[in-house]
Structure 1
Amino acid sequence: MDKLSYASESPNTAWSTYLQQIDRVAPYLGELSRWVDTLRHPKRALIVDIPLQMDDGSIRHFEGFRVQHNLSRGPGKGGVRYHPNVDLNEVMALSAWMTIKCAAVNLPYGGAKGGIRVDPFKLSEGELERLTRRYTSEIGLVIGPQKDIPAPDVGTNAKVMAWMMDTYSMNQGTTITGVVTGKPVHLGGSLGREKATGRGVFVTGREVARRLNIETDGARLAVQGFGNVGSEAARLFVAAGARVVAVQDHSATLYNAEGIDLTALTDWQATHKNIAGFSGAQTIDAEAFWQLPMDILIPAALEGQITRERAEKLSCKLILEGANGPTYPDADDMLASRGITVVPDVICNAGGVTVSYFEWVQDMASFFWSESEINERMDKIMSEAMIHIWDKAREKECSLRTAAYIVACERILMARKDRGIYPG
């Protein structure tokens, strides 16, 4: 395999983690392994300069990215992240995980991802809008409803998607709602989209818990990250009888063995923008989070959170990866040796892209579904995909992550094989 010259050689980068995951699945691919290097090379990587006039009249420059990892099964699909740590290595990995994710759920998409290295909370709304519109114009040559469809990710939201849609539409001379998903409902967005990723974590977690004979009623739940994903997954598990004993975000780590009142915590977070200072739980050291007594863990923050050292300390029986890439490969090995089941990100958090697909379909038809229809369709797709991956893991005697990659890679590489190489 030829290594990419622009990818970090460090074993602890997101892209390195992804490459190790591909190495692990390659022996299961049979004749399709001839094409496996396709998955080790992004199809297209765009780096753009974004000059921005600040409110005080000064000019600052920000670096933006859009990577299309693989388009063999359809247009690219993937979010746009605004975060100070965004770099090409991370965006490459996130785009690759989107390729796997879309194929694991059998959506007609390839994988893509974008981002800007910026702290969005340090910009005014006007600066954020100008940044978004310039970024959209710069990547406009590679996105489109049949080419690559962005969506929200860390640091972005429906308002950012509205600006992206409007900018692209103005440059095309007509309104094109299907260029992005995750938009406001009144601009062609879909009902159920905001809560979809967290709902998918719950649906896949419920299916696996049943098969492991883990009772959700009374289960102790720990959640890292209390944004849309972590909070919604926690809410649904509480509705099923679980109790949330720990919540961690960038500001604090909270613990209450009797259970944290999620409604009160949500209200506190809405007012204070983080969970620090919440009086309904004890504030503990951040690293102590990984040693707490728990049955189910939902890492729903950023990648690279579960290291081998932390995996050695965890007491849970089940991990539901709400975030992308939260577990390092050597930590995966440690968790497997300790009998801890991991539902991998590429299926566990695929509810968001599934409802994004529904939004795209609705935009194409200009015909919209009710929220109950959205949830019913998503639950069916996610449950069936999870059961298929569970059965594959039993058949191949491998982890759920490897099984998800087998299912996804077979679909991607079959498409690559049957399409061939043009020009030859």
Structure 2
Amino acid sequence: MADDPFENMLAQMDRAEEYADVDHGVFERLKHPERTLKVTLPVELESGDVEVFEGYRCQFDSARGPFKGGVRFHPSVTQGEVEALAGWMTWKTALVDLPYGGAKGGVICEPKELTDRDLERLTRRYTEGIRRMIGPDTDVPAPDMNTDPQTMAWMMDTYSMYEGHSVPRVVTGKPLEIGGTPGRVEATGRGVSLVTERLFEYLDRDLSDAAVAIQGFGNVGSNAARLLDEAGANVVATSDVSGAAYDPDGLDVAALGAHVDAGGLVSEYVAGDLKGSADRSRWDDPDAITNAELLTLDVDVLIPAAVEGVITADNVDDLRASAIVEAANGPTTVAADEALTERDVQVVPDILANAGGVIVSYLEWVQNAQEFSWPLETVNAELERRIGDAFDKTVEQYDTKELPDLRTAAYTLALERTAKAHEYRGLFP
């Protein structure tokens, strides 16, 4: 059960049910996705070969509004994972009070083995496959793991070709030139940074010089690292698939960011093989450690920003971080959660910590509807207001109801809001 993301999500819901003011019949409805589509995607690759891919789109719950959720390209994509991620999106949008339901999509592939032309053909084929499910008022995809603004541009263009006119609102996370919003690319990482700052304020601790370890240096991890570094925190470790870098005096986050932006790996950074404009001059040479060792560092806050299921019953006893902020979706299993609660390790749950992306996606969608764009300052201010308000309400729920942990507090809010929408709408027919 611990390794199944969907069962993990259901177990998180079950932990919150006794504290949430939700009718049991409605609660049982909330455990089941409305629909999941599996699509078969034959694609002629640039090599001339034809490869058949599989993809999914799950629409979990639409009681609060149109479905919303990203699309990921990854070899580990499964139907169960996509359904779990769609469920987490449902609770996330409810927690930060957006007029959305939750969805998620995924294609089983290894993007590193595909050319840009292959990825475009795969994206367009997948978009055609799910085209009857998505729409600006129905289901609005966004970027996720291994997808980006270019992917969204291809999705938007494919959908628009079938409609006969441009439909920017069908996806979010687009390039600025075709209706994207400033601040969207770094939004999830910015939200992680803001929530970490709020957590330290709540715990009455100083973020300045606090040791931070971030597992994952992709879009989310790298932006969170940069913003926390600018806020005065000491980012001592980070990682990618090639390994991890650790320096107790702090990593040169700017140099590492420049190196990775130029296509470099963390292991190359450790070895001193820098790419692009990277200039590692602020700090001493970091040590090479494993991803598993990064999780067990003695730090003030651990930020898992890679994939789900990395903090488990097998390694939770070795974790020494005094707080955890979940930048990834579902990084902590229920068994590990219970152990951390017993040890009074505060865990800011994924449905709160990484909600910055969907908040700014909503702002992009609203701007597209208005055919008007806002400056970056407005977008960032609204992001900070909304995620800060969700953090405050979660903490208030945690304190006033004497709940076991912040995840349970977040789930009770999200479940009650979604259940209330179901109760008002009733059951059709």
TM-score w.r.t. the length of structure 2 is 0.95
1:204 corresponds to: 195
C-alpha contact 1:70 1:99 (8 A) present in aligned 2: yes
Q: Distance in 2 between matches of 1:36 and 1:208?
A: 30
Q: Distance in 2 between matches of 1:96 and 1:289?
A: 29
1:354 is the counterpart of 2:345: no
1:129 corresponds to: 120
- 1:207 is displaced (CA, Å) by 1.2
Matching residue's letter, 1:234 = A
Q: Distance in 2 between matches of 1:194 and 1:126?
A: 22
Matching residue's letter, 1:60 = E
- 1:31 is displaced (CA, Å) by 4.8
Q: Distance in 2 between matches of 1:188 and 1:270?
A: 24
Q: Choose which of 221, 231, 246 in structure 2 pairs with 1:240.
A: 231
C-alpha contact 2:64 2:421 (8 A) present in aligned 1: yes
1:161 is the counterpart of 2:166: no
1:315 corresponds to: 320
Over the residues paired in the alignment, what is the CA RMSD in angstroms? 1.1
C-alpha contact 1:221 1:297 (8 A) present in aligned 2: yes
Q: Distance in 1 between matches of 2:113 and 2:353?
A: 32
C-alpha contact 2:22 2:415 (8 A) present in aligned 1: no
Q: Choose which of 132, 135, 138 in structure 2 pairs with 1:144.
A: 135
Q: Distance in 1 between matches of 2:214 and 2:372?
A: 36
1:337 corresponds to: 342
- SS of the residue corresponding to residue 62 of structure 1 reads strand
2:276 corresponds to: none
- 1:250 is displaced (CA, Å) by 1.0
Judge which range, 205-214 or 337-346, deviates more.
205-214
Q: Distance in 1 between matches of 2:291 and 2:102?
A: 33
Alpha-carbon distance change, 31 to 45 in structure 1, aligned in 2, over 3 angstroms: closer
- SS of the residue corresponding to residue 17 of structure 2 reads helix
Question: Which whole-Å deviations, capped at 9, do the CAs of 1:299-358 have from their partners, x for residues lacking one?
Answer: 000000111232211221111100000000111111111121000000110000000000
Q: Structure 1 stretches (4+) deviating beyond 3 angstroms?
A: none
Q: Choose which of 395, 399, 405 in structure 1 pairs with 2:400.
A: 395
1:298 corresponds to: 303
1:30 corresponds to: 21
Matches within 5 A, 1:360-371: 360-371=365-376
Matches within 5 A, 1:40-189: 40-189=31-180
Q: Choose which of 228, 237, 258 in structure 1 pairs with 2:219.
A: 228
C-alpha contact 1:99 1:110 (8 A) present in aligned 2: yes
Question: Which whole-Å deviations, capped at 9, do the CAs of 1:115-145 have from their partners, x for residues lacking one?
Answer: 1000111111111111111110110000000
Alpha-carbon distance change, 217 to 323 in structure 1, aligned in 2, over 3 angstroms: same
Question: Which whole-Å deviations, capped at 9, do the CAs of 1:372-400 have from their partners, x for residues lacking one?
Answer: 00001110111011000000011221211
1:289 is the counterpart of 2:288: no
- SS of the residue corresponding to residue 420 of structure 2 reads helix
- 1:181 is displaced (CA, Å) by 0.2
Matching residue's letter, 2:252 = D
C-alpha contact 1:32 1:414 (8 A) present in aligned 2: no
Q: Distance in 1 between matches of 2:295 and 2:21?
A: 38
C-alpha contact 2:2 2:335 (8 A) present in aligned 1: no
- SS of the residue corresponding to residue 277 of structure 1 reads helix
- SS of the residue corresponding to residue 344 of structure 2 reads coil
1:382 is the counterpart of 2:373: no
Alpha-carbon distance change, 140 to 31 in structure 1, aligned in 2, over 3 angstroms: closer
1:326 is the counterpart of 2:326: no
- 1:83 is displaced (CA, Å) by 0.2
C-alpha contact 2:238 2:246 (8 A) present in aligned 1: yes
Q: Distance in 2 between matches of 1:396 and 1:78?
A: 31
Q: Distance in 2 between matches of 1:305 and 1:88?
A: 19
Identity %: 44
- SS of the residue corresponding to residue 309 of structure 1 reads coil
- SS of the residue corresponding to residue 421 of structure 1 reads coil
Question: Which whole-Å deviations, capped at 9, do the CAs of 1:85-110 have from their partners, x for residues lacking one?
Answer: 10100000000000000000000000
Q: Distance in 2 between matches of 1:119 and 1:286?
A: 21
Question: Which whole-Å deviations, capped at 9, do the CAs of 1:213-272 have from their partners, x for residues lacking one?
Answer: 221001001000001111111111111211111112111111101110011111222234
Matching residue's letter, 1:271 = A
2:281 corresponds to: none
Alpha-carbon distance change, 55 to 246 in structure 1, aligned in 2, over 3 angstroms: same
- SS of the residue corresponding to residue 229 of structure 1 reads helix
C-alpha contact 1:22 1:39 (8 A) present in aligned 2: no
C-alpha contact 1:32 1:410 (8 A) present in aligned 2: no
1:7 corresponds to: none
Matching residue's letter, 1:22 = M
1:257 is the counterpart of 2:268: no
C-alpha contact 1:82 1:116 (8 A) present in aligned 2: yes
Task: Extract unaligned runs of 5+ from structure 2.
Answer: 273-284
Question: Which whole-Å deviations, capped at 9, do the CAs of 1:192-216 have from their partners, x for residues lacking one?
Answer: 0001001111111111211112210
- SS of the residue corresponding to residue 369 of structure 1 reads coil
- SS of the residue corresponding to residue 276 of structure 1 reads helix
Matching residue's letter, 1:405 = Y
1:418 corresponds to: 424
Matching residue's letter, 1:402 = T
